[in-house]
């Protein structure tokens, strides 16, 4: 049973940076495909970035070039480096494990295990 716990959220000003972490416990995750999602109040959960078994990354258009997803297999952590933050990036951010290797990064239904979320607030 895989468990996830996010950390690293906070409040920053426009243009600032944050690095989110997602700690995994349970079964080894090195073969897992994982992703970051976010959800703002009144909006649907949206995919931000994902990483597959080959460490290939996929990004939403809205964050490409500003966010970087990575992971450390040895430490069982997933990261999301967020630079040049904008107010529209404000949301609760969640990490998740894909159900299978065949997933769509932006579809929450393709992900089975979720963390509790960490809040990111960007002020103008």
**pLDDT in the model for residue 31:** 54
Query: In Å, what is the CA distance from 124 to each residue of 12, 61, 94?
Result: 9, 21, 23
How many other CB atoms are there within 10 angstroms of residue 74's CB atom? 7
Q: Which two tokens stand for residue 5?
A: 């716990």
Using DSSP's 3-state secondary structure scheme, residue 110 falls into helix
Question: Each residue's pLDDT tens digit in the chain (124 positions)?
Answer: 889 999 999 999 999 999 999 998 887 554 578 999 999 999 999 999 999 888 899 999 999 999 999 998 765 899 999 999 999 999 999 999 998 888 899 999 999 889 999 999 999 9
């Amino acid at each position: 049973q895989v468990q996830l716990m996010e950390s690293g959220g906070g409040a920053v000003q426009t243009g600032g940076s944050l690095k989110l972490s997602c700690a995994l416990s349970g079964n080894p995750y090195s073969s897992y495909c994982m992703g970051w999602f976010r959800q703002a109040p009144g909006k649907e959960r949206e995919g931000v970035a994902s990483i597959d078994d080959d460490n290939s990354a996929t990004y939403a258009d809205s964050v490409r070039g500003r966010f970087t997803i990575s992971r450390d297999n040895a430490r069982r952590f997933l990261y999301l480096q967020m630079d040049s933050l904008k107010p529209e990036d404000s949301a609760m951010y969640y990490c998740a494990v894909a159900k299978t290797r065949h997933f769509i990064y932006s579809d929450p239904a393709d992900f089975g295990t979720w963390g509790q979320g960490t809040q990111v607030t960007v002020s103008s």
